[in-house]
Amino acid sequence: MSVIKTFGKYRNLLIELIKKDIKLKYRSSYLGVVWTLLEPLLTMLVLTLVFSAMLGKGTRDFPVYILTGRLVYSFFSNGTKAALRAVRANAGMIRKVYVPKYMYPFASVLSGYVIFLISLIVLAIVALVRGVYPTLQLLWILIPLGQVLLMTTGVGMILATMAVFFRDVEYLWGVALMLIMYASAIFYQVKDVVSPTNAWIFKLNPLYAVIVNFRNAVFGQAPDFSAMWYAFGFGAVSMVLGVFVFYKKQDKFILYL
């Protein structure tokens, strides 16, 4: 209850930190927030050209397939990396002013989440253009949207704690993100690259479980409940573990910043 009260007390600060992160992200960009829409669109065009036009893979709705996976992965990747750097990036403020330290990684994740939600405009436009129209199944999209936020926050809190004591974590996580990307089936169908007996490798990836149900909702298909519960379980465990580790180690941060 004390944590909840503290969170409520500093909610205005959290909002200001989110605004600051978004402004800093686009401070040197002429396009500003417009780049949030252009970046996934351009990436989708390149991947569609390579895998559809050149390799003869994919169908009319293949760009939507790519974009759904790309947007979810990009948020997870950018959100966890931003959270990882958040404590060290705000070392000056931490030394001078008392603010609950979890505000910094949490604000970094939420600012990325706002940008992620804005980028969904591109997905909606591309889906309509490619003939993928919304159905009642689209309501299920709220669940993977919540799961990826929970998962990113939990993993981000763990990484933020580790990065204070071990600076090499940032480089190791970059390698891990590359493995996660290829295990998330962003720009290919799982059935095209592995046999059904080896598909379990992808199912071990919790981010892939989120992407599966995100795609199902967009394409009007029924959700995969086993993937849904797996993603929820991983997100809940990572969140609890992240908060616990961060809370236990936060008093020692000042010694390493």
pLDDT tens sequence across 134-146:
999 999 999 999 9
The amino acid present at 79, given as its one-letter code, is G
Q: How confident is the model at residue 152 (pLDDT cuts 50, 70, 90)?
A: very high
What is the predicted pLDDT for the residue at 22? 80
> Given CA atoms 174, 179, 185, 187 in this order, what sign does their dihedral have?
positive
Q: Where are the alpha helices (DSSP H) in 27-137?
A: 34-48, 62-89, 91-96, 103-129
Where along the chain do its domains lie?
A: 2-255
What pLDDT, in 10s, does the model give residues 104-123?
A: 999 999 999 998 998 899 89
Check residue 194 and report its DSSP letter: S
Alpha-carbon span 32 to 157, nearest angstrom? 28
- What tokens were used for 245? 């580790």
- Tokens standing for residue 234: 């991983």
Three-state secondary structure call for residue 183: coil
Let me know: does 40 contact 127? Beta carbons within 8 Å: no
